[in-house]
Structure 1
Amino acid sequence: MQNVRNALQSIGLQDKIKVSTSVSTAVLGNSYPPSAGAFSSDALPALQPIIGFLTGTGAPLLANVYPYFSYIGNLNTISLAYALFTSPGSVVSDGQLQYQNLFDATVDALYAALEKVGGNNVAIVVSESGWPSDGGVGATTENAQTYVSNLIRHVGQGTPKRPGNYIDTFIFSMFDENMKQPQGTENHYGLFNPDKQPKYSLSF
């Protein structure tokens, strides 16, 4: 990252192109409640200098946020509605903050973790988020359409911890990866089938 930054600086592009890296939410050692979010002791030695770099350069941290994985890993405690943005009311109370969906809770846990290690000014960009349409528990075309549609509508609102701050978010993925092995949910995240036909309708 430093070498790429130096190369950009040598041609005067350091203020136009930010250098960052992406992490999965597995870097969190604790994420519940969101305010208790903290990086794991295994991840922190690698993350600390990265966070220092991002703080110094004003670049965001890229995070791959998949409520689906949290949902299938905790079927007894996480409801499908909470994961799909469809809960009718708050599900988690964290001090004064109320959480109606798992996406916000995850992003705010990452913000809390950043703050605990000096990354108060580091923004989060969601570099991947999506929902599979087949291949596992809760993986249906209807759930995928619901999640992605609600995600698109929601990201402009920010999170309870940082309301009104638009969250730059990238949907994973454009096409199903039908040849990926082993077969499972990983094959079914696309908005389109491999034959380029849309799996469901979306409105941006």
Structure 2
Amino acid sequence: MGGRSVADMSTFTDRSATALVVIDVQKGVVAGAHRRDEVVANIVSLVDRARTAGTPVVWVQHSSEHLARGSAEWEYVAELAPESSEPLVHKRFGDSFEDTDLESVLAAAGVGSLVVTGAQTDACIRSTIHGAFVRGYDVTLVADAHTTEDLTDWGAPAPEQVVAHTNLYWQHQSAPGRTAAVLQSAEVEFAR
């Protein structure tokens, strides 16, 4: 089956570009994540393909009281390394747009469509996809390129259910002038 290009129908009339957004794939965030190695490998593949196609790759890195900036846990996983020319957005809240320069980074690159990957599905991924959508972006969630940890001890569903539910409901999101989609990593095509 051939891949499908991500949509470029956002509410931004002057932003036809797509960006791959990699959220919080940090050592301390994904250490115990569901299917960690598979998800990271899928993100590595997407990053490589985006770079080859000339699609901007935007990195987001979280810091908090429990994830101190500059600590080993705060660093991106060894498999993923932002290039010096790629924007790195530092955040302190779940939504990657909240109190960050993400919007200005995307605007400067003419981006109106996002392909979203990373962690944690039930926190920063959900916050960011909703945040992007309400701000007018087309948002494609990569079904097999986001993950979360097991929080069943605190009453949450199992991580595989969290991922599956997020993939299920996101494909049915709708709003005027923009699209929401869910694709497998192998289905994502970045236009050259």
Higher relative CO (Cα under 8 Å, sequence separation at least 6) belongs to: 2
Bucket of the pairwise TM-score, normalised by the shorter protein: 0.3 to 0.5
Larger radius of gyration: 1
Q: Which structure carries more strand by proportion?
A: 2
What TM-score does the superposition give when structure 2 sets the normalisation length? 0.35
Q: Which structure carries more helix by proportion?
A: 1
